[in-house]
Amino acid sequence: MIIKPSYRGFICLTAHPVGCYKNVEDMIKAAVDHRVSGTAKIKNVVVLGSSTGYGLASRVVAAFSYGAKTVGVSFEKESTERRTATAGFYNNRAFGDLAEKAGLAYKTINGDAFSCEIKDDVVAACKELFSGEKVDLLIYSLAAPKRTDPETKQVYSSVIKPIGAAYRSKTADFHTGVVSEVEISPASEEEIESTIKVMGGEDWGLWVDRFIAEDLVADQFVTLAYSYIGPALTHAIYKDGTIGKAKDNLLQCCQTINQKLEPLGGNAYVSINKAVVTQASSAIPVVPLYISLLYKIMREKGLHEGCFEQISRLFTDRLYSGKDDFCDKERRIRLDDWEMRTDVQAEIDALWPRIDSENIDSLTDIKGYRDEFFSLFGFGRIDVDYEEDVKGF
């Protein structure tokens, strides 16, 4: 099959196995270049949501910078005769191949991480792969549109909506560069609660409870969930919207989880990361335009970080730095510190009102956003022949 990018809005329908492999290979090469030696206690790691974005970067850093054994969990689709697999499937396959070549122990589990069955599979994998040792680090990086409650079997769906009043702002089609106004109706109470059930911290707590019950929590155990806050510019649709309510719940659950771990010598944190191009962020109105402007400004200032650079800094400068002052009183690790710098946000505030369809290419890096979006799916690499017939995809 000749595999070309096919998309519908913010959803890319195809993925290129060779391009995805090379993406993972590049990240692994960077992780090897940042290999850490010393006393950092990170031997056994579990990453929930390990196939793309921050989750994939976390698994790569843990394995290839720190030499850890890893169990990764994600829910990906394999290829069929007519359709490619998902990018995450190819990423997992690439990680496994390169981990084997490097002599690193790993186990990848494909399935619904919200379910009891996958929790059973992960516990079994940990006991087998870690040879009786316990888990040092559990990362919660799940991003899913739906969740089935494991007890009631009720299905909850998340929505991206403001709360209290309709939201109106400018947005951009990153495929065409057309800037337009978008208006989104406010969420109902049912939609708010459903989004919290999907994207909040309840399931994270269930995972930690299960690890405690199975005696899998090592001394100095750390568990971490990823979140985002963003600037006032996006608060109505993010921080103060349905997603924000879910992230508030995540932070509340972090406090509860930490209280359970304290007697065991463990800690729970929420890492507030910077905005990056992902399938999920591309679905949020306003955010692609904001990221396009943010990337241009941060690159000009030498501050830009992708997923790998963020997670590498999280591990080396925060979690395993030997410092004990890397989080605030709410147990948040502010990795968005460079994004939220006063000078960065001041430039965004000054340029935002001026952006339109005519000047978007000069005022923002919308082309870079578009390129990075397709790169997530293995497209746009100069070292891949996209006219070549891909066999066994």
By annotation, the residues acting in catalysis are 238
Amino acid at 74: S
- Span between the terminal Cα atoms of the chain, in Å: 8
Question: What tokens does 76 get?
Answer: 């990906």
279/303 Cα distance (integer angstroms): 23
Strand, coil or helix: 225: strand
- What Rg do the C-alpha atoms of the chain give, in angstroms? 21
Of 103, 55, 139, give the one whose Cα is nearest residue 310: 55
346/344 Cα distance (integer angstroms): 6
Do the Cβ atoms of 270 and 251 come closer than 8 Å? yes
Query: Going by DSSP bridges, is the β-strand pair 106-110/69-74 parallel, antiparallel, or unpaired?
Result: parallel
Distances (CA, A) of 181 to 77, 231, 327: 35, 19, 38
Question: What tokens does 341 get?
Answer: 């710098």
43/133 Cα distance (integer angstroms): 9
